[in-house]
Amino acid sequence: MAIIDVLKYDGPNNVLAWKWRPKIVSKRDEELRLGTQLIVNQSQQAIFIKGGQILDIFESGTHTLSTQNLPILSKLIGLAFGGQSPFKAEVYFINKAIAMDTKFGLIPFNMLEPNFRVPIPITSRGSFAIKVTDVKTFINQIIGTVPDFEVNKLTQFFRGIITENVKTAITKISKERNLNPLELESIVSEVSDTVKGIISDALSIYGLHLEFFNIEAIPVVDEDPRVKKIVEDFHRLMSQDMEERMRLKRRGENLEVYKIERTFDTTEKAAENIGGGVGGEGGILGTVVGLGMAMPIANTMGNLMTNATKNIQQNSENNIIVNKDEILKLLRELGELKIAGILTEEEFTEKKKELLSKL
């Protein structure tokens, strides 16, 4: 008679539920008796099942089977003969440790790219961790008559729930934020947080607790050359847009300099219409001379030129760094000198470059 004296877990490490069975199968190899030792490892529970009904549950430790710790089973099968009569029961060992880093991935689905008006295949990948919290519910809802339930079966079992909710969250959030399918990496954390609560509620029905849920990426599937070309064009446009934004940002930070440069541009064009001579077709400069204003303007511009040059030379000699307001003032003075014709284009450009380099 092959009566089992020691009952313990002999399964692999990557299972959530493992049904005990003898190494050598015969008609009486599954028979137990009172007095048999039951060894339950840390983070495990042992469950006795008879006729599909969950009976007695044992926590971690070493137990000697008796009518005291098998009250339901004893009453059910009516153990007699001092507990020496053999009996049969199914024994499941449930792993209650956290099942870490279970991977999942979505089958690609299409999202419309609004600029090019073409469908772009999108996928998503991530991982999650669960823990068995309600052993009876877990066995009744998932295990059934399956001898073993490995961790990697979790993804297969809950694939539909994960896929449906991740796709829904990606579509909803991207629409709310008006995102292009090529910009979805920016909402990875938001999608994770949205889906985690839904998945957690779904798992609790099966006696499981979701320890964490993480979306690692929402990439574009660019195996198709046409899709790859669209991705490249999009990134090129984004790069150009970024350069333009940086240019505007720099302009905003130096708004006064930009205003002066624009003034220079305007006055340069106006200066092209200024001619020589007195009155008639002599243009503005001729009119100025005709009204006797040439000498005062020349004297004023000469003083400005002298002061500007003196300031620049003095700062250069004393190695003093002028502040922004001083530089802007000098730029205005140089602009006036150029308009009056006292500075040439080359002289003005050289001095302007020198001053702008100090900003």
In sequence order, the β-bridge partners of residue 57 are: 47
Is residue 334 within 8 A of residue 308, CB to CB? The reply is yes
pLDDT at 133: 93
Which helix (H) or strand (E) segment holds residue 183: the answer is none
Pairing of β 90-95 and β 31-32: unpaired
Kindly tell me if the per-residue pLDDT of 316 is higher than 60: no
CA angle at residue 341 from 338 to 345, to 5 degrees? 55
Give me the count of residues in the chain. 359
What integer best gives the mean pLDDT of the chain? 75
CA 229 to chain CA mean position, Å? 24
Q: Which one is the CATH code of 99-221: 3.20.20.140, 3.30.479.30, 3.40.640.10, 3.30.750.24? A: 3.30.479.30
Lowest mean pLDDT among 11-15, 171-175, 176-180: 11-15
Q: Closest by alpha carbon to 38, among 14, 59, 62, 18?
A: 62
Residues 6+ apart with CB under 8 A from 36: 3, 4, 5, 6, 7, 64, 65
Residue with the two structure tokens 């994960």:
162
Question: Could you give the CA distance from residue 121 to residue 234 in angstroms, rounded to a whole number?
Answer: 15
pLDDT digit string, tens, across residues 205-243:
999 999 999 999 999 887 777 777 766 776 676 666 666
Question: Could you give the CA distance from residue 222 to residue 211 in angstroms, rounded to a whole number?
Answer: 33
Question: Could you give the CA distance from residue 156 to residue 166 in angstroms, rounded to a whole number?
Answer: 15
Domain locations in the chain as residue ranges: 6-95, 99-221, 254-356
Structure tokens at 231: 């991705």
Question: Could you give the CA distance from residue 166 to residue 157 in angstroms, rounded to a whole number?
Answer: 16
Cβ-based neighbour number of residue 138 at 10 Å: 21
Q: Model pTM greater than 0.75?
A: no
pLDDT digit string, tens, across residues 57-101:
999 999 988 877 777 666 655 554 455 567 778 899 999 998 888
Q: Closest by alpha carbon to 218, among 164, 176, 171?
A: 171
Kindly tell me if the per-residue pLDDT of 131 is higher than 80: yes
Question: Strand 208-217's sheet: what is its strand order?
Answer: 99-105, 125-132, 208-217
Which helix (H) or strand (E) segment holds residue 201: the answer is helix 188-204
Is residue 358 within 8 A of residue 322, CB to CB? The reply is yes
Could you give the percent of the chain with pLDDT greater than 70? 65
Residues 6+ apart with CB under 8 A from 262: none
Is residue 48 within 8 A of residue 18, CB to CB? The reply is no
Amino acid symbol at 12? P
pLDDT digit string, tens, across residues 29-44:
567 777 888 999 988 9
Average pLDDT, stretch 252-277?
55
Q: What is the per-residue DSSP string for 205-241?
A: TTTEEEEEEEEEE--B---SHHHHHHHHHHHHHHHHH
Question: Could you give the CA distance from residue 152 to residue 101 in angstroms, rounded to a whole number?
Answer: 10
Kindly tell me if the per-residue pLDDT of 134 is higher than 90: yes
